[in-house]
Homo-oligomer: A and B are copies of this chain.
Amino acid sequence: MLIVMDHSAQDCDVEQVKLAVREMGLRPEPIPGSERTAIGVLGNQGYIDDATIRNLSGVREVIHVSKPYKLVSRDFHPQPTVVRVGAVCIGDGHAPVMMAGPCSVESDVQMMASAEAVKQAGAQILRGGAFKPRTGPHSFQGMGVDGLKLLRQAGDAVQMPVVTEVMRIGQLDDVCRYADLLQIGARNMQNFDLLKEVGKLDFPVLLKRGMSATIEEFLAAAEYILAEGNSQVILCERGIRTFERATRNTLDLSVVPLVRQLSHLPIIVDPSHATGVRSLVPVMAKSALVAGAHGLMVEVHHDPARALCDGAQSLDGADFKQLMAELDGLHRYLDSAAMKTIA
């Protein structure tokens, strides 16, 4: 922590600050400058609250150097984490993993048809939402536990592990019974109680970035899960909210190489929610691969025109098959070329 004093701060102000720092069990180190004094704070073991300092007379600014996360940081844990979901491995040293399926489970027929389409195209993990977060209460809210069962059935039929969203602590038992990977959605990225409960499980978790979460907050959210003992966390970029409205969100692809530098956790990309526009999904999926994503999550529906949810951003089976073929070729090219400048 660095405390910056006002140009006009008095010596007694500086002494007050030094005293307050010592009361926190830390060591103040004044750095007198030509225009103002700054005071370095030494001895802290991590992120500290600055309230006691910020209030003192003559203090202009308090700058944090430590981050609100440590367990997820590559600085303290250089080895990459590989997360297993069934027999599928996600992380460094493994080929990018495709998670695909419909936005929401709608029926036996729809789920089975979609599962077969994504299996046949080569996806490794099946997705499908049983509990759906919707902006308004009058929209379709998902099939609930019945949806979980249909998802499981479809996964078993095509021999794929399944991922689905959990929205509340009370759903954890059910979701863990039927799914192989728990998804925490963007709106729940800072549902800290849910994160803590999930952290107590021995179960892989897919954590989506909140729509207005900084990378620092995103990693601090993952820290909640790791702090409880569960380090099987996969991060997922799914677009952030900006002033631009031509796309549903703004896909922040730079976060992929950046997270790979800052953290040891794997990161995947969801181009369907990020763009919200079907024709942009394949292009951005391939861009994400080149950006270094450890996997992708793509919405696929056997009949998008009749989807109850997010049909406008879903690929149909044929488009998805074409995309998978292209992704496969691209991955093999990138692998063979051994590009040095990939993150």
Contact = CB atoms under 8 A, between A and B. Distances in A.
Contacts of A235: none
B51 A214 contact: no
Given A76-B7, A135-B217, A246-B215, A312 B55 contact: yes
A241 B337 CA distance: 34
A69 B290 CA distance: 33
Interface in A220-278: 220, 223-224, 227-228, 240-247, 250-258, 261, 274-275, 277-278
Given A34-B42, A168-B193, A341-B326, A310 B254 contact: no
Interface string A55-86: 11000010101101110000110000000000
B40 A31 contact: yes
A38 B29 CA distance: 11
A240 B254 CA distance: 12
Given A137-B223, A242-B250, A246-B214, A35 B341 contact: no
A339 to B, nearest CB: 5
A64 to B, nearest CB: 9
Name, among A43, A187, A283, the residue most crowded by chain B CB atoms within 10 Å (CB to CB).
Answer: A283
A201 interface: no
A275 to B, nearest CB: 5
Chain A interface: which size bin? 35 or more
B246 A243 contact: no
A34 B38 contact: no
Contacts of A258: 246-247, 277, 280
| Among A44, A139, A254: residue with most chain B CB under 10 A | A254
B257 A306 contact: no
Contact of A75 (B6, B212, B337): B6
A293 B257 CA distance: 20
Contact of A337 (B54, B55, B188, B326): B326
B244 A214 contact: yes
Contacts of A290: 283, 286-287, 289-290, 330
Interface string A322-343: 1100100110010001011111
Interface of A: 2, 4, 6-8, 20, 29, 31-36, 38, 40, 42-47, 49-52, 54-56, 61, 63, 65-66, 68-70, 75-76, 131, 133-141, 167-170, 187-188, 190-194, 196, 211-212, 214-217, 220, 223-224, 227-228, 240-247, 250-258, 261, 274-275, 277-280, 282-284, 286-292, 304-312, 319, 322-323, 326, 329-330, 333, 337, 339-343
Sorted nearest first, the 6 A-B pairs with minimum C-beta distance are A51-B311, A68-B136, A212-B212, A282-B341, A54-B312, A31-B40
